[in-house]
Amino acid sequence: MDAAAERRFREFVSARSPALMRLAFLLTGGDQHAAEDLLQTALARTVARWNSVDSPEAYVRQVMYRQQASWWRLARWRRETTVADPPESAGPDGTRAADMKIVVRRALARLTPRQRTVLVLRYFEDMPEAEIAAVLGCSVGTVRSTVHRSLARLRKSAPELAEFRDPRAFMGEVTA
């Protein structure tokens, strides 16, 4: 990589690393160290292909999606995440919603990397199922069943979600 290419790469990282770290942070279930590892690995691959990659950001994101969803990633599977305990008593509606978000965080952190990745793609990246399937290299049916199982497990980990339940979503029928 020549000096000009290196400068462009540094500018790209400087401009996009906040957004990319947010994605990595969610993909790893709120694990700061694992998120840094994930993003650094993806960026290193991008450096190696810098001159042939049309859209560096899309490439980095795809490497991270696939890296997280590809395997039984037990080494990082359930590293404990620091999520504050919810208050013991529920307050007015606003407080209750805040408590619920903590509960949902805990439940998301307990998902497998693949389950969490599919939900992050669906709900954080707002991807339709067909696009998720293309990104992960699997069928739409696999995406649909993984979303279904992930949501079911989310609800199992956080029974409190039942009161927020959207039957359409939790029956795995959420479509793009």
Partner 1 sequence: MRSEELIKETMRQWAEEAEVPGDLASRALKGGKRVRMLTAAALAGAVAVVMAGVSLVVPSLLHAERGIAVNPEPTVNVNTTETRTDPESSPPRTLVAAGDVAVYAYYTWEEVKTSDDMVTVKRTWYLYDRDSDSYQETPWAMLDVAPGGGRAAVLEKVPADRVGVLDQAGGEIKWFQTPGAGAAYWSPDGTRLLVTTYSADPDETGAWKNGSRTVPPPSRTGWAVVDVASGEVKTQPVAYQDDRGPVNPRTDFRWNRDGSLIWEQRATEPHRQYYDLSGKPVAAPPHEDETYQEANLSPGGRLLAVSSSDDDAVTAVKDVRTGEVTPIKPVNGHWVEQLAAWADDTRLIAWACEYDEKDTCVGGEFRNRLVLVTADGGELVPLTGFRENSQQPGSWTPIFTRR
Contact set with partner 1 (CB under 8 A): 1, 6, 9-10, 13-14, 17-18, 21-26, 30, 32, 35-37, 39-41, 43-48, 50, 67, 70-75, 77-79, 97, 100-101, 104-105, 108, 112, 114-115, 119-120, 123-124, 138, 142, 146, 149, 153-154, 161, 164-166, 169-170, 174
Side chain identity at 156, as an amino acid letter? K
Written as six digits, the tokens of 77 are 């599977």
CA triple 6-135-168, angle to 5 deg: 135
Side chain identity at 75, as an amino acid letter? A
- In whole angstroms, how close is the CB of 170 to partner 1 at the nearest point? 6
Complex with partner 1: residue 135 or 146, whichever CB lies closer: 146
- In whole angstroms, how close is the CB of 27 to partner 1 at the nearest point? 10
- In whole angstroms, how close is the CB of 153 to partner 1 at the nearest point? 7
Complex with partner 1: residue 33 or 130, whichever CB lies closer: 33
Written as six digits, the tokens of 80 are 């404990």
First-residue to last-residue Cα distance in the chain:
40
Complex with partner 1: residue 54 or 75, whichever CB lies closer: 75
Closest CA relative to residue 144, chosen from 112, 113, 172: 172
Closest CA relative to residue 147, chosen from 121, 110, 109: 121
